[in-house]
Amino acid sequence: MNAKIKTNCRDARGLLGKLGEYINFSTPWVQRHIANCPKCQKRFAAVSKVYLAMSLVKACPHNIDLLKRANIQTVDSLSHGVRGTAKADKLRIAMPQMKLAEKFSPVRGALANTAACIAIMLFAKAGILNSMEKFQTDSKKVIENYYEKNIGSELTDEIFS
C-alpha cells in the first residue's frame, strides 16, 4: 500500500510540475489526493506556510537593507567553499537601487505643494507685469489725449515723440 501512495504522490508532483499552469491545488483530484495522503498533507501545509509568510513579508514595510540582510543570511548558509567566492562577496554588499520616485515618495506632497506655489507666483508675477505694462500704455494715452485737448496736437506730438 505504501508503494502505491508513493507512486501516486510522485505522479501527482510530476503532473503539477509539468502542468502547473493548468492544474492548481484547488483541482478536485488534487484535493482528493491530499485528503487521503499524509505525506502530501504535510507538504501542502508547508507550502501554505510559505505562502502565508510571503504574504506577511509583502504586507509589512521593510528597511532598505532587507535585501542585504537576506543575502548575508543566505551566503552564511552556503558551504564554506562557496562562501569565499567573489559572487558571494558581491551578494553580501548588494543594496537595492531605489528609483527616483521612491526616493522622493516621503516628500512628494510637499514637493507638489511647493511646485504649485512657485507656479502661482510666476503666473501672478507675469499677470502683474502685464497689468503694469497695460496700465502704463493706457496712462500714456490718457495724458496724450489731455495734452492734445489743452495745448493742441502739434505740441503734443513734439512732447511724446
Interatomic CA distance for residues 75 and 100, integer angstroms:
29
56 and 2 housed in the same domain: yes
79 and 125 housed in the same domain: no
Distances (CA, A) of 125 to 52, 86, 117, 120, 132: 57, 59, 12, 8, 10
**CA-CA-CA-CA torsion for 13, 18, 21, 23, nearest 10 degrees?**
-50
79 and 113 housed in the same domain: no
Residue-level pLDDT at 19: 58
81 and 105 housed in the same domain: no
93 and 106 housed in the same domain: no
89 and 114 housed in the same domain: no
Residue-level pLDDT at 119: 92
56 and 40 housed in the same domain: yes
Per the rule left: phi > 0, alpha: psi between -120 and 50, beta: everything else, 95 is: beta
Q: Which of 79, 97, 115 is the last residue of a domain?
A: 97
Q: Which of 51, 72, 97 is the last residue of a domain?
A: 97
Query: Residue 156: how many CB atoms within 10 A of its CB?
Result: 18
Mean pLDDT, the chain, whole residue set = 79
Give the residue numbers spanning the domain of 88: 62-97
Condensed to tens digits (0 to 9), the pLDDT of residues 15-59 reads 666 655 666 667 787 788 778 888 888 887 887 788 888 888 777
Residue closest to 31 by CA, chosen among 15, 48, 17, 44: 44
- What is the number of structural domains in the chain? 3
